Structure 1
Amino acid sequence: MIIQHHSHDIATDTGIMRTSVYRPQAGGQFPAIIFYSEIFQQTAPIARSAALLAGHGFVVLVPEVFHELNPLGTVLAYDDAGKDKGNADKWAKPLESHDSDTHAMINFVQTQNYCTGAVGAMGVCIGGHLAYRAALNPAIKAAFCLYATDIHSDTLPAKAGNNSFERMKDIQGEIHFIWGKQDPHVPKEGRAKIYQHAVTSGINYQWQEVNAQHAFMRDEGERYDPALAIAMYQQAVALFSRTL
């Protein structure tokens, strides 16, 4: 489908969050996917991923995940300085603020005449964690989480009893976990911990481990695996077409 792209500054509990919207150019209503980026925010690879998904008949929202901590429109470079700043932002923003961001985007989607009101979540790296975290909201019908960091370690700031790992049982929609076996950020022991918790929690999940490194979806850099990336997009489109 031919798509269009525009931005909205959405009011959240912690300030204005610039959000890019990719959606079909055709008239009508479409289900929405909140697409959470890496720590670098909306880089060119993230924008291309969002556009690809939108071309399959979805309204795709890409929020600036650390909007409170940066000027609007900030994009960090894939270098040491960008990595250091993005990681500092990750440790500075509590999960409760990500929750309120998700709530604001759901409210936004449900008031747009080009949306059906059905919402899913997808993300990569910290964005995979945020897609998982978004699934704690009952309005999120499905989540597709690619190499989600920091779930197993419980290291992101949150109030007592509100960490992502322990709250897995609260997920009501369908959730897909995808991991790279060669990913040092989520080692074998961490994946096993999450898997066992998914088994005992009783949630509706699917689990997949592939021979890939961290960030294998990013179409810049030496870790990119285009064959796996295509397969992941196909799986994500299938999930959201079925559930949304």
Structure 2
Amino acid sequence: MLIQSHTVDLATPSGPMRTYVHRPQGDGRYPVILFYSEIFQQTGPIERSARLMAGHGYVVLVPEVFHELNPAGTVLAYDEAGRDKGNADKAAKPVASYDADNIALITWAQAQPWCSGQFGAMGFCLGGHLAFRAALQPQVSATACFYATDLHTQVIPSSAGQHSMARLADITGELLMIWGKQDPHIPAEGRAQVYASLAQAGLRFTWHEFNGQHAFMRDEGERYDPELAQLGYQLALALFRRKLG
């Protein structure tokens, strides 16, 4: 499916949020995927992933996750300076601010002629956590989280009762949780903690642990595993087709 891309700046309580829109060409109404990046924002690998998903018949919205902390269009490099800046931004943004971002994305999309009214979410690393956060919104019926960081920690700032794992009762859709067993950012005990919490809450979720490192979906760098990445996309697409159409 041929796709088109453009940007839009959406109003949020913390300022304009640059959002990249990737969607099928021509007329038609399509399900929407809220697509969350790593701490580096829309890098080349993130754009390629978003465009891949759009090519399967989805409108993919990629917000700049730290829009209130950087000029619009900021992309951080996959190097030490980029990691330091991205991690500092992660520590500076209150987790509840992502809820306002999600509401802005959903409200804007619902008013567009290409929106079918069906919503999903997907993300990698920090974006895996933010996709999980998007699942708190009642409109989101399917969510694919790839090696979601900090679900088992308190690293992402939050006020009492606002951490994502404290709000599992707000999740009404289905989750796809994908992890790398060799990922030091989410060790086995952290994954076990998340699994137990989801199971205890009675959520609908599928759980996959692969022999992969952190960022095995990213098609840059030596940790990229093309075979696992293809399998990951297939699992996500199967979920979205089943739940969103």
**Which TM-score band (shorter chain)?**
over 0.9
Which residue of 1 is the match for residue 172 of structure 2?
A: 172
Which residue of 2 is the match for residue 194 of structure 1?
A: 194
Equivalences for residues 78-227 of structure 1 within 5 A: 78-227=78-227
Query: Per-residue deviation at 1:119?
Result: 0.8
Query: Which amino acid is the alignment partner of residue 231 of structure 1?
Result: L
Q: 1:170 & 1:102 partners in 2: Cα distance? A: 14
Equivalences for residues 13-32 of structure 1 within 5 A: 13-32=13-32
Which residue of 1 is the match for residue 55 of structure 2?
A: 55
Q: Which runs of 5+ in 1 are unaligned?
A: none
Q: 1:77 & 1:50 partners in 2: Cα distance? A: 18
Deviations 1:60-79 (A, max 9, x none): 00000000000000000000
Q: 1:166 & 1:190 partners in 2: Cα distance? A: 15
Aligned-pair identity in percent equals 62
Q: 2:165 & 2:186 partners in 1: Cα distance? A: 14
Deviations 1:27-56 (A, max 9, x none): 110000010000000000000000000000
Query: Which amino acid is the alignment partner of residue 100 of structure 1?
Result: A
Q: 1:139 & 1:100 partners in 2: Cα distance? A: 14
* TM-score (norm: length of structure 1): 0.99
Which residue of 2 is the match for residue 3 of structure 1?
A: 3
The count of residues paired between Structure 1 and Structure 2 equals 244
Query: Per-residue deviation at 1:157?
Result: 0.8
Which residue of 2 is the match for residue 12 of structure 1?
A: 12
Q: 1:175 & 1:43 partners in 2: Cα distance? A: 25
Q: 2:81 & 2:189 partners in 1: Cα distance? A: 29
Which residue of 2 is the match for residue 75 of structure 1?
A: 75
Q: Aligned Cα RMSD in Å? A: 0.7
Q: Which runs of 5+ in 2 are unaligned?
A: none
Query: Per-residue deviation at 1:169?
Result: 2.7
Query: Which amino acid is the alignment partner of residue 150 of structure 1?
Result: D
